[in-house]
């Protein structure tokens, strides 16, 4: 779809970037052999596929050899052998001409009157007249060549000079289009005055030369964008300042889509205005919809710079660790603080942390209190007596003798934490002595299982090693306890009943 409104889109990005700013309706001024645009578009090779090249040109130079003029090439590509190049140029009678190397077809309409002219060459291998030349939507000439067309692929599509370096154009060129089909007179005529808003099928190269400002300082704009693909062109020999060999005012065309190139250096990620996130070095494309329904296509040449680690800290923490920037870390591992710098890349502080976690919960089993941290050391305290440590209450389990509130100081290495206070209600009239409960273990020594029996109801059985560390807890009603998972050695069994606690030793063979 073509658009009949002017469009100027400026993309502003708050990163370290170099942006090609596009304007509308500018052209390029070429100066003989000093200037040309070399693209990476290969064109169409051979001679079996149709093709069309169109451009706007403006010149007052003499190109007619009969009057001392020299050839002026609009566009060329291929191999410099007979039939191997596709050279669209101005020559005899200062009219347009198509050459394939060894033969050519010349028009008759002079185009060097200082006005803008739309010119086109169409090659249709299936037509009776395979070549047609158009000027301002008028068929100038149609015919055939005596040399077989077999375009090579040595030199990519070039604008303003022949592929061997001769035939430099003298004047202005704009809106160069390459199609992979034979355009009709109606197609050439109906679309020549408009820049495309939506690219049509078959348009394989499209150089609008809208990257600069007419007569301005454009020394940073050395790329001719291909709106129809990735094969951009490089401006060679242009001054890019002043009135010659620079961007100039182009023909009065209806503006269409826009395209820009952004060279971006960033750390880790870049987010485009449309919300796309790019995290690796490479070439990326994004499309924005502008106010007149034409696309604004943006090409991003992104370089992602790795963040630099400026400091490494190895440390430990109890339960949590707070970094220099206030980030709280609760588990062991490697973490980073990011410091933004004036050059746009981040510097990092690396933290290699060991976090000691403590389970500060307590399970209540009747009047018995059990710390849930198996691997810590313990000190039970009386919350009602100013958190006074209870003498001898240094195991994981504690059964208070009196009603009150109790907590446990749980310690691992240099880290300690105190559990919440837990209330225990005990009727002193029902206190029983430990010797009221009896218990036995069979067999002893044992291999796979031990059977625990008591004259009282068994609440739980804890098996501890000789250091007092609890390695197995059985709270089920099954008195047969599986000991296959513990190694051979001597163990203490703490048998807790409703009438007291019985400690007993046994041997695991």
Position 254 scores a pLDDT of 86
Looking at residue 200, which CATH number applies to its domain? 2.60.120.200
Distance from C-alpha of 383 to C-alpha of 88, rounded to nearest angstrom: 99
Residues 18 and 47 in one domain: no
Distance from C-alpha of 262 to C-alpha of 24, rounded to nearest angstrom: 18
Average of per-residue pLDDT across 110-123? 98
Distance from C-alpha of 86 to C-alpha of 1, rounded to nearest angstrom: 30
Q: What percent of the chain has pLDDT over 90?
A: 54
Task: Please measure the distance between the N-terminal and C-terminal CA atoms of the chain and give it in whole angstroms.
Answer: 90
Residues 325 and 260 in one domain: no
Position 288 scores a pLDDT of 73
| pLDDT winner (highest mean) among 70-74, 334-338, 339-343, 430-434 | 70-74
Chain-centre distance for alpha carbon 263: 15
Residues 269 and 351 in one domain: no
Position 12 scores a pLDDT of 29
Average of per-residue pLDDT across 36-61? 98
| Of 33, 77, 32, 73, nearest in space to 55 by CA | 73
Residues 409 and 389 in one domain: yes
For residue 326, how many other CB atoms are within 10 A of its CB? 7
Cα distances from 312 to residues 256, 309, 348, 397, in angstroms, run 54, 7, 9, 42
- Residue 388 is encoded by which pair of tokens? 């006074």
| Of 422, 302, 303, nearest in space to 371 by CA | 422
Higher pLDDT, residue 42 or 2: 42
Cβ contact 88:100 at 8 Å: no
Distance from C-alpha of 201 to C-alpha of 468, rounded to nearest angstrom: 83
Average of per-residue pLDDT across 104-129? 98
Position 438 scores a pLDDT of 86
Residues 163 and 208 in one domain: yes
Average of per-residue pLDDT across 67-82? 96
Which region among 29-43, 132-146, 306-320, 404-418 has the lowest average model confidence (pLDDT)? Answer: 306-320
Looking at residue 401, which CATH number applies to its domain? 2.60.40.10
**pTM for this predicted structure:** 0.57
Residue 39 clears pLDDT 80, i.e. is over it:
yes
Q: Taken in order 451, 452, 456, 462, is the CA torsion positive or negative?
A: negative
CA dihedral 291→297→303→304, nearest 10 degrees, is 60
Residue 7 clears pLDDT 70, i.e. is over it:
no
| Of 485, 440, 477, nearest in space to 459 by CA | 477
Residue 507 clears pLDDT 80, i.e. is over it:
yes
Higher pLDDT, residue 46 or 436: 46
Mind spelling out the 3-state secondary structure of 462-490? EEECCCCCEEEEECCCCCEEECCCCCCEE
Residues 125 and 233 in one domain: yes
Which region among 19-28, 190-199, 357-366, 492-501 has the lowest average model confidence (pLDDT)? Answer: 19-28
pLDDT tens digit sequence for 257-282? 777 777 887 766 788 877 888 888 88
pLDDT tens digit sequence for 185-229? 999 988 999 999 889 999 999 999 999 999 999 999 999 999 999
Higher pLDDT, residue 279 or 340: 279
Residues 6+ apart with CB under 8 A from 430: none
Cβ contact 113:92 at 8 Å: no
Residues 369 and 350 in one domain: no
- Select from 430, 460, 476 the last residue of a domain: 430
Distance from C-alpha of 370 to C-alpha of 380, rounded to nearest angstrom: 10
Residues 318 and 366 in one domain: no
Which region among 56-60, 324-328, 391-395, 478-482 has the lowest average model confidence (pLDDT)? Answer: 478-482
Average of per-residue pLDDT across 430-455? 78
Higher pLDDT, residue 390 or 9: 390
Average pLDDT, the chain: 86
- Residue 331 is encoded by which pair of tokens? 């588990």
Residues 447 and 468 in one domain: yes
φ/ψ bin of 242: left (φ > 0), alpha (ψ from -120 to 50), beta (otherwise): left
Higher pLDDT, residue 427 or 175: 175
Higher pLDDT, residue 215 or 472: 215
Position 344 scores a pLDDT of 54
- Select from 356, 384, 416 the last residue of a domain: 356
Q: How many domains does the chain have?
A: 5
Position 500 scores a pLDDT of 80
Domain containing residue 382: 362-430
Position 345 scores a pLDDT of 64
Q: Please provide residue 223's backbone torsions phi and psi, each rounded to the nearest 5 degrees.
A: -115, 130
Which region among 93-97, 364-368, 430-434 has the lowest average model confidence (pLDDT)? Answer: 430-434
For residue 110, how many other CB atoms are within 10 A of its CB? 15
Burial class for 385, CB neighbours closer than 10 Å (0-12, 13-18, 19+): exposed
- Select from 401, 430, 459 the last residue of a domain: 430
Residues 112 and 199 in one domain: yes
Residues 6+ apart with CB under 8 A from 91: 63, 64, 65, 71, 72, 97, 104, 106
Higher pLDDT, residue 506 or 307: 506
Q: Taken in order 435, 437, 438, 444, is the CA torsion positive or negative?
A: negative
Average of per-residue pLDDT across 57-83? 97
Residues 6+ apart with CB under 8 A from 227: 196, 199, 206, 207, 208, 257, 259, 297
CA dihedral 330→331→334→335, nearest 10 degrees, is -20
Residues 265 and 278 in one domain: yes
Residue 241 clears pLDDT 80, i.e. is over it:
yes
Position 47 scores a pLDDT of 96
Band of pLDDT at residue 3, cut at 50, 70 and 90: very low
Distance from C-alpha of 112 to C-alpha of 136, rounded to nearest angstrom: 13
Cβ contact 127:51 at 8 Å: no
Residues 44 and 16 in one domain: no
């Amino acid at each position: 779809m073509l658009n009949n409104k002017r469009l100027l889109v400026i993309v502003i990005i708050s990163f370290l970037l170099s942006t090609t700013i596009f304007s509308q309706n500018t052209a390029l001024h070429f100066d003989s052999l000093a200037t040309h645009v070399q693209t990476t578009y290969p064109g169409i090779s051979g001679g079996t596929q149709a093709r069309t090249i169109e451009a706007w040109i403006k010149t007052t130079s003499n190109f007619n050899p009969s009057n001392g003029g020299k050839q002026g090439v609009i566009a060329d590509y291929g191999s410099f052998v007979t039939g191997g190049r596709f050279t669209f140029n101005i020559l005899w009678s200062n009219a347009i001409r198509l050459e394939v190397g060894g033969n050519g077809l010349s028009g008759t309409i002079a185009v060097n009157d200082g006005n803008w002219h739309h010119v086109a060459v169409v090659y249709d291998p299936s037509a009776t007249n395979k070549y047609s030349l158009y000027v301002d939507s008028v068929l100038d000439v149609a015919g055939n060549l005596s040399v077989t067309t077999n375009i090579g692929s040595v030199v990519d599509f070039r604008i303003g000079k022949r592929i061997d370096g001769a035939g430099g154009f003298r004047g202005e060129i704009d809106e160069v289009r390459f199609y992979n089909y034979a355009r009709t007179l109606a197609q050439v005529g109906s679309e020549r005055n408009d820049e495309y808003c939506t690219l049509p099928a078959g348009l394989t190269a499209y150089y609008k030369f809208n990257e600069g400002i007419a007569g301005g300082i454009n020394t940073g704009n050395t790329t001719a964008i291909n709106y129809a693909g990735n094969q951009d062109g490089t401006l060679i020999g242009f001054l890019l300042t002043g009135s010659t060999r620079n961007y100039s005012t182009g023909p009065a065309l209806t503006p269409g889509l826009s395209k820009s190139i952004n060279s971006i250096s960033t750390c880790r990620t870049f987010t485009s205005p449309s919300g796309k996130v790019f995290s690796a070095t490479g070439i990326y494309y994004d499309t924005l919809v502008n106010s007149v329904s034409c696309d604004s296509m943006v090409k991003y040449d992104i370089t992602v710079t790795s963040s630099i680690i400026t400091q490494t800290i190895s440390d430990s923490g109890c339960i949590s660790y707070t970094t220099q920037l206030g980030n709280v870390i609760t588990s062991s591992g490697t973490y980073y603080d990011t410091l933004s710098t004036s050059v746009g890349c981040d510097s990092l502080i690396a933290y290699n942390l060991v976090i000691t976690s403590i389970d500060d919960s307590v399970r209540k089993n009747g009047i018995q209190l059990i710390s849930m941290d198996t691997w810590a050391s313990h000190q039970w305290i009386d919350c009602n007596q100013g958190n006074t440590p209870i003498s001898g209450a240094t195991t994981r389990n504690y059964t208070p003798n009196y009603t009150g509130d109790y907590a446990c100081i749980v310690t691992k290495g240099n880290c300690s934490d105190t559990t919440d206070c837990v209330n225990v209600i005990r009727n002193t009239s029902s206190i029983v002595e430990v010797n009221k409960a009896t218990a036995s273990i069979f067999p002893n020594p044992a291999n796979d299982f031990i059977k625990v029996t008591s004259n009282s109801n068994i609440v739980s059985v804890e098996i501890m090693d000789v250091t007092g560390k609890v390695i197995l807890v059985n709270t089920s009603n099954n008195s047969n306890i599986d000991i296959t998972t513990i190694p051979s050695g001597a163990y203490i069994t703490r048998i807790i009943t409703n009438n007291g606690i019985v400690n007993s030793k046994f041997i695991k063979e």
